[in-house]
Amino acid sequence: MPQPDVVDESVAAVEAGLDALDTPTERRTLTWRRVVAVVAPPVIAVVLLLVVWQALWAAAFWPEYQLPAPAAVWAVIAENLQNGQAFDVLWNSVHRAVLGFAAGVLIGTPLGLVVAKVRVIRAAIGPLLSGLQSLPSVAWVPAAVLWFGVTPSTVYFVVLMGSVPSIANGLVAGIDQIPPILPRVGTVLGASRLASARHILLPAALPGYLAGLKQGWAFSWRSLMAAEIIAVSPQLGKGLGAFLEDGRNLSDMPTVIAAIFLILLVGIGIELLVFRPLERSVLRARGLSGAF
């Protein structure tokens, strides 16, 4: 017959072990090692890309107008930075994308909640949302031009059609992965539908919702570039898409590659400055920070 003290100690040891399993663990590394681990891989990749590019240009497999030297592309970027045109086209495109994406979040979030929780609406428009998400955004540009003319409304409409389905579907996927016990607990505690959505559904679905936001931003940015390439007008000003199209019209490959570089730079910057910190905080709160 085990002694009561021995039993109490065993139970305490088991509880301590379970608490240790639930406690998120973080591997602490030196700051300089963390910086090197984060910065070194992309820097090495960029250097290798430039070396390969320079080698291909030096080998002259393609004529200069098809594959310019890296120095020629950098000269175009430097010139546009000096005369301020690069900042103008970046501002025109980025602020349109941010405004369109913000509107997409305001529309896609309640839409995703309704689709996820109302079976009739899910059966009615769920497949439509999935189809719209797979539809190339460039397909909306001709229709938007005919509906709204070559105006800012055309650009924002195309951005919305690119972002809203992804945001809504991401939230639906996140809600579908919530354990059923959580909404039931909220109902038992007297939470209204609005309070349940705010305090239970959205926080629990945050990983899937965040994935939908990331995809929604990517689709917004791609949609905006498609709209700016096709819908060119002095009323819209010159964005990155129009800058890219100017290079094509002039058969100026350094300008084309410079525009592609700036478009890529914005995408990487938004990922590193906005979504990566959000992902890190969400995963760390759930004890899943190992990937970062």
pLDDT in tens, 100-112: 999 999 999 999 9
135 vs 282, residue with greater confidence: 135
With a threshold of 0.85, does the pTM exceed it?
no
Query: CB–CB of 187/131 below 8 Å?
Result: no
- pLDDT computed for residue 10 by the predictor: 56
Q: How far apart are CA 136 and CA 154, in angstroms?
A: 16
Per-residue pLDDT, 118? 86
Q: What are phi and psi of 236, to 5 degrees?
A: -85, -20
pLDDT digits (tens, 9 = 90+) for 255-281: 999 999 999 999 888 988 888 888 888
Q: Is 174 exposed, middle or buried (0-12, 13-18, 19+ CB in 10 A)?
A: buried
Rounded CA separation 269/109 (Å): 24
- Cα separation, 217 vs 96, in Å, equals 12
**pLDDT classification of 96: cutoffs 50, 70, 90:** very high
